[in-house]
Amino acid sequence: MKTLIIYYSGSGNTKHGVELIKMGIEKDGINTCQIVKIDDLNNNIIENYDLVGFASPIYGFKPAFNIMKLIKNLKKESGKPCFTFTTHAGEPANSDLILFDSLKERGFNVINQSNMECEDSWTFIRKVGKTYEVQRPTKEKQNSIYELGEKLSNIFDENKLSSQTVPRPKFNFCWQHLVSKTFIKMFLPFWFVTKVDTSKCTKCSLCVNTCPTGRMNIETFPRVNGECIGCNGCINICPNDAVIGLGTRGKEKYKGIPINKKIIINKKTIDR
């Protein structure tokens, strides 16, 4: 089986999960899995794979809009098997349903939907030692994501890929779903990155390279203009705390899953 996983990862959490799935798929050395960042994807290569995965963090109670835009622009398929993987700290609301319906509309057959809870990467709400999430993702959960890769590999080996499917997720009537559109259109541009402290900025371009929308542009600093996805990647990755957003001063920056929290498979730690 040849598997392709298309992913976006603002903090490294989603990439970590994708690496676990890849290792599970390739465990026996027979099936292969290629992981591709959304920015590096050539849409035409999808037809070369037996199974396609779509992996995204949840921002504003919905999948990242660059992943949703990609799916919307994919060519129509005829039952190609796919799966989804998401990471979140807060309420995912109807994210699985949104992905399911979008992929169905493009002709995909969704055979699995999985998620992994992680620490919050939003700087403005982080606080050192938040006990309810400092253990995320648990090693048990990481193991289950690795086992997902094994499961997908076994489904193919048993020649059940084309017959596998999951039911459409039930609609979750929650307040997060009700406010999600307003949150993304109005809250993100207001709350997230507003300026760059040029006295601290060394023009290292880390924030530029991590921004999925091209919003970070050294030539316009200290002003920051354009569409924001809400990942806080630019704030978290800046080594000099030069990137400033409302409520982020003095807050702990998220640097990804600590090495001692990652599971070890075949004597190899899954790195960010």
The closest alpha carbon to 116, from 77, 155, 143, belongs to: 143
Does 223 have pLDDT greater than 70? yes
Task: Assess contact for 213 and 66: CB atoms under 8 A.
Answer: yes
Does 171 have pLDDT greater than 90? no
pLDDT at residue 177, rounded to an integer: 66
- How distant, in Å, are the alpha carbons of 57, 163, 234, 269 from that of 79? 25, 10, 38, 35
Task: Assess contact for 225 and 211: CB atoms under 8 A.
Answer: no
As a whole number, mean pLDDT of residues 209-225 equals 88
As a whole number, mean pLDDT of residues 210-222 equals 88
The closest alpha carbon to 21, from 9, 10, 5, 8, belongs to: 5
pLDDT at residue 106, rounded to an integer: 97
User: Per residue in 190-199, pLDDT tens?
Assistant: 666 678 999 9
Does 175 have pLDDT greater than 90? no
DSSP E strand boundaries for the chain: 2-7, 32-37, 51-59, 62-63, 80-88, 108-117, 195-196, 243-244, 264-265, 268-269
User: Per residue in 131-156, pLDDT tens?
Assistant: 445 668 999 999 999 999 999 999 98
| CB-facing half-sphere around the CA of 235: CA atoms within 13 A | 28
Angle between helices 65-73 and 95-105 (to 10 degrees): 20
What's this model's pTM, rounded to 2 decimal places?
A: 0.89
The Cα 53–Cα 228 span in angstroms is: 24
Nearest 5°: phi and psi at 86?
-130, 155
Q: Which domains does the chain have, with CATH numbers?
A: 2-173 (3.40.50.360), 177-245 (3.30.70.20)
